[in-house]
């Protein structure tokens, strides 16, 4: 079978490309529509609206975390089972993932509607941005089952080796969003809520596509209630990786919330400039993340089937990360002064944003390898190591923000991003070194030191 060929026999470069290129393309396209969201809103010349969609990022991060709770944990488990040829158990895991995602979505709807005002205030929305922010998050919470399912099913489908299906699903989501954004914003004049509704419908489209594939095309996956079981062994394997990854996403959302509150002390312009800079930097960052996440099924499969091949895949991926980070560095530092001006004509936003983008881009050199280290822990089922990384990546930034802001004000807040990412990278390298014999990975081959 084609999927098995890439897992077992294809040359390493070809196998990594098969699994990672679709993920990289899908993520790069998703960044484009995120940028266009900010661009379309920016055309309304209302910095408060830009601030509102920036403030809502933690809510989306939490919903993504719930999707990853099931999708990442279940997906890596499925790839390991595929390497062991335990096909019947794969059906149980995929069925559990589907219904568990829906259950989490229903819980999110209830919590989001009941606590909408409190959540909006907690996001740091000013009086001017409060209504826009609340409208956006209400749409997100109402559509939570579909948003969670989108993240979950994308991981599950990719875990069986169907990388192209994963990419097509992301393309469908992006395509729908790109079509609906200008319609809802400029034709219907829905503003920020229009962006939210377009995002929700885009997620629904992707879910329908993934569901069609699983029901009609997949050899291994199923939604059938016949295979739905809440067995301790399945739940444990899904959650031991899913919980750390979900915690990481949620804690990163918390970090974004704390960061926004710090930045808000310097005015809406500071929050908006950071939001625009982050959206621009998402492009190179998510392409590298796509490479590292895309290769996870290949690592997971060969962790149980062929550890020598697993080592080769990790080594090749680490070298590719270094090359890509260097290329993106050159591009951004040569053009960074002009990028912010694409999204706003506000002179203050351009000045602050041009500074912010150059500082926080430095993180790309360390976050790329951190993504790979986390991917190795996911793929090999190292729950404790994944938990260490989730707590580190989620919490280390908060004390650094307090310290750096007291020392250097706004400049300290911006530089805290790089400092936090560098500390996280060092801890990841240390944990990987400790586990090297267990994973049968030569740390020197990873070129992480």
Q: What is the pLDDT of residues 145-176, one digit of tens each?
A: 999 999 999 989 988 888 889 889 988 998 89
pLDDT of the residue at 337? 63
pLDDT (average), residues 115-141 = 91
**What pLDDT shows up at residue 110?**
96
Tell me the pLDDT tens digit for each residue of 247-279.
776 676 677 777 777 777 766 666 777 777 776
Which residue in the block uniquely carries the two structure tokens 């911006």? 414
Dist. CA 282–CA 35, nearest whole Å: 9
Lowest mean pLDDT among 82-86, 180-184, 202-206, 406-410: 406-410
CA angle 111, 38, 60 (to 5 degrees): 20
pTM for this predicted structure: 0.76
Determine the pLDDT at residue 435: 86
Burial of 326 per CB tally in 10 Å (0-12, 13-18, 19+): exposed
* CB contact at 8 A, 240 and 383: yes
From the list 134, 130, 140, 174, the residue with the least C-alpha distance to 65 is: 140
Residue 375 near residue 295, CB atoms below 8 Å = yes
Closest alpha carbon to 371 in 327, 304, 415, 432: 432
Percent of the chain with pLDDT over 70: 89
Please count the residues of the chain.
Answer: 449
pLDDT above 90 (res 349):
no
Averaged pLDDT for residues 299-314 = 89
Answer yes or no: is pLDDT of 1 > 50: no
Tokens representing 310? 């697993």
Cβ-count burial 358-384 (b if 16+ within 10 Å, e if not): eebbbbbbbbbbbbbbbbbbbbbbbbe
Q: Which class for 438: exposed (0-12), middle (13-18), buried (19 or more C-beta within 10 A)?
A: exposed
Q: How much of the chain, in percent, has pLDDT values that exceed 90?
A: 27
pLDDT of residue 447: 42
Q: Supply the mean pLDDT for the chain.
A: 83
- Measuring CA to CA, which residue among 142, 100, 107, 381 is closest to residue 244? 381
> Would you list the DSSP string of 318-370?
HHHHHHHHHHHHHHHHHHHHHHGGGT---HHHHHHHHHHHHHHGGGHHHHHHH
Residue-wise pLDDT for 393-425, tens only, equals 777 888 888 888 888 887 788 888 888 889 989
Identify the pLDDT of residue 440.
Answer: 64
Asked whether the beta carbons of 352 and 269 are under 8 A apart, the reply is yes
> CA–CA separation, 426 vs 373, rounded Å?
11
CB of 203 within 8 A of CB of 147?
A: yes
Residue 24 · residue 158 · CB < 8 Å: no
pLDDT (mean) for 12-21? 90
The yes-or-no verdict on residue 237 having pLDDT over 60 is yes
Residue 43, pLDDT score: 79
The model's pLDDT over 81-104, given as tens digits with 9 standing for 90+, comes to: 988 888 889 999 999 999 999 999
């Amino acid at each position: 079978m084609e999927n098995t060929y890439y897992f077992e026999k294809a040359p390493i470069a070809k196998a990594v490309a098969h699994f990672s290129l679709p993920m990289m393309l899908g993520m790069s396209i998703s960044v484009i529509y995120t940028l266009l969201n900010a661009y379309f809103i920016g055309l309304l010349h209302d910095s408060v609206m830009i601030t509102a969609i920036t403030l809502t990022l933690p809510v989306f991060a939490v919903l993504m975390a719930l999707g990853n709770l099931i999708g990442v944990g279940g997906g890596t488990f499925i790839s390991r089972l595929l390497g062991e040829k335990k096909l019947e158990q794969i059906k149980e895991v995929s069925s559990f993932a589907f219904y568990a995602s829906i259950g989490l979505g229903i819980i999110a709807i209830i919590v989001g509607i009941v606590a909408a005002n409190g959540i909006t205030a907690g996001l740091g929305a000013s009086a001017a941005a409060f209504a826009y922010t609340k409208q956006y998050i209400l749409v997100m919470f109402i559509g939570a089952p579909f948003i969670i399912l989108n993240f979950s099913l994308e991981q599950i489908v990719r875990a069986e080796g169907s990388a192209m299906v994963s990419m097509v699903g992301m393309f469908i989501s992006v395509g729908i969003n790109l079509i609906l954004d200008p319609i809802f914003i400029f034709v219907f004049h829905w503003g920020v809520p229009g962006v939210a509704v377009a995002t929700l419908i885009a997620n629904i489209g992707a879910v329908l596509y993934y569901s069609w594939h699983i029901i009609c095309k997949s050899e291994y996956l199923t939604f059938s209630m016949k295979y739905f079981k809440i067995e301790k062994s399945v739940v444990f394997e899904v959650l031991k990786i899913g919980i750390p990854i979900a915690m990481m996403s949620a804690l990163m959302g918390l970090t974004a919330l704390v960061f926004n509150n710090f930045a808000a002390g310097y005015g809406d312009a500071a929050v908006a400039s950071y939001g625009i800079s982050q959206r621009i930097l998402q492009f190179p960052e998510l392409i590298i993340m796509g490479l590292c996440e895309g290769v996870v099924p290949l690592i997971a499969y060969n962790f149980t089937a062929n550890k020598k091949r697993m080592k080769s895949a990790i080594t090749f991926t680490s070298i590719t990360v270094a090359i890509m980070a260097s290329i993106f560095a050159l591009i951004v530092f040569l053009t960074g002064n002009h990028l912010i001006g694409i999204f706003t004509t506000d002179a203050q936003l351009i000045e602050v944003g041009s500074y912010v983008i150059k500082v926080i881009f430095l993180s790309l050199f360390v976050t790329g390898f951190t993504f790979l280290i986390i991917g190795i822990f996911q793929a090999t089922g190292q729950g404790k190591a994944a938990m260490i990384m989730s707590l580190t990546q989620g919490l280390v930034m908060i004390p650094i923000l307090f310290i750096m802001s007291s020392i250097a004000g706004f400049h300290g807040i911006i530089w805290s991003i790089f400092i936090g990412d560098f500390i996280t990278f060092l801890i990841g390298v240390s944990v990987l070194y400790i586990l090297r014999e267990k994973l049968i990975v030569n740390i020197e081959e990873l070129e992480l030191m």
